[in-house]
C-alpha cells in the first residue's frame, strides 16, 4: 500500500512570504502553473482516495492534480483535522519582518520546533494531537484495506504525519521541511510496516 503526501502548490501568501495559517488564501499564478509538472510525478500511481483540508489552497491543489491526471471521479475526503497550524498573531505578517522584530532563532522555534507555539497560535505538538488521531482512524484504515492514499495538505499538518510515520524525535522534527508542491511517497506492507520511502 502507498501513502503519498503532497504539500499544496504555492499560494499567494507563500509568494508574498507571509504567515498563512488558517487564513484562507488561494494559490498564486505560479502555483497553478506548476500543476502539470508536479502531477506528472503521480501519473503512474494508482490512487484510490484523496484526503485534504477545507482550506482553499489545498482544495485547489487537489482539483488541479485530479484534472491533470484525468481522475476527477476519485473520492475526496475533506476534514479540518488536516488544516495548517494556527499561526495566531503571526498570521498575515511578513516572515522577514517578523524575524527582525523577534529574532531569527525565536521565529525558527515558533515555525519548526515541537512544543513552542507562536503567540495565540498552535505548536506542532498541538497540530500532531489533532492530525494523527484522524490519520490513524481514517487513513490507516484505508491503508490496511489495501488502498493507496493521497494526502494533500499544508506544511505543518504534513510534518505531523511525517513525524508519526518516520518516528522522528521531538528534538529532530525541527529539521523536517517540505517545500510547496513537495511530495513524499511511503510504501507499507499489509501490517503497515514501512517498506520504502521516496522524495
Measured N-to-C along each axis, helices 104-112 and 95-102 cross at an angle, to the nearest 10 degrees, of 120
Cα 14 to Cα 132: distance, rounded to the nearest angstrom: 25
Q: Is 8 annotated as catalytic? A: yes
Residue 48, sorted as left (phi over 0), alpha (psi -120 to 50) or beta, turns out to be alpha
Query: Strands 49-52, 149-153: parallel, antiparallel or unpaired by DSSP?
Result: parallel
Which residue in 8, 60, 122, 155 is the catalytic one? 8
* Chain centre distance of CA 62: 12
Which residue in 60, 67, 84, 97 is the catalytic one? 84
Q: Is 74 helix (H, G, I), strand (E, B) or coil?
A: coil
Q: Which residues are catalytic?
A: 8, 84
Amino acid at each position: 500500500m502507498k501513502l503519498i503526501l503532497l504539500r499544496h502548490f504555492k499560494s499567494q501568501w507563500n509568494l508574498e512570504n507571509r504567515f498563512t495559517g488558517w487564513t484562507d488564501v488561494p494559490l498564486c499564478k505560479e502555483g497553478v502553473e506548476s500543476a502539470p509538472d508536479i502531477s506528472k510525478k503521480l501519473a503512474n500511481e494508482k490512487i484510490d482516495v484523496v484526503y485534504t483540508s477545507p482550506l482553499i489552497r489545498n482544495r485547489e491543489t487537489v482539483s488541479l492534480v485530479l484534472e491533470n491526471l484525468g481522475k476527477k471521479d476519485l473520492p475526496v475526503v475533506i476534514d479540518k483535522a488536516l488544516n495548517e497550524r494556527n499561526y495566531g498573531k503571526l498570521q498575515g505578517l511578513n516572515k522577514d519582518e517578523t524575524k527582525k522584530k523577534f529574532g531569527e532563532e525565536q521565529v525558527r522555534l515558533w515555525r519548526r520546533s515541537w512544543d513552542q507555539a507562536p503567540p495565540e497560535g498552535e505548536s506542532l505538538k498541538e497540530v500532531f494531537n489533532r492530525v494523527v488521531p484522524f490519520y490513524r482512524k481514517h487513513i490507516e484504515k484505508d491503508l490496511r484495506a489495501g488502498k493507496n492514499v493521497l494526502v494533500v495538505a499544508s506544511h505543518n499538518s504534513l510534518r505531523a504525519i511525517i513525524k508519526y510515520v518516520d518516528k522522528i524525535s521531538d528534538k529532530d522534527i525541527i529539521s523536517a521541511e517540505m517545500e510547496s508542491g513537495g511530495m513524499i511517497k511511503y510504501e507499507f506492507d499489509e501490517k503497515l510496516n514501512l517498506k520504502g520511502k521516496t522524495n
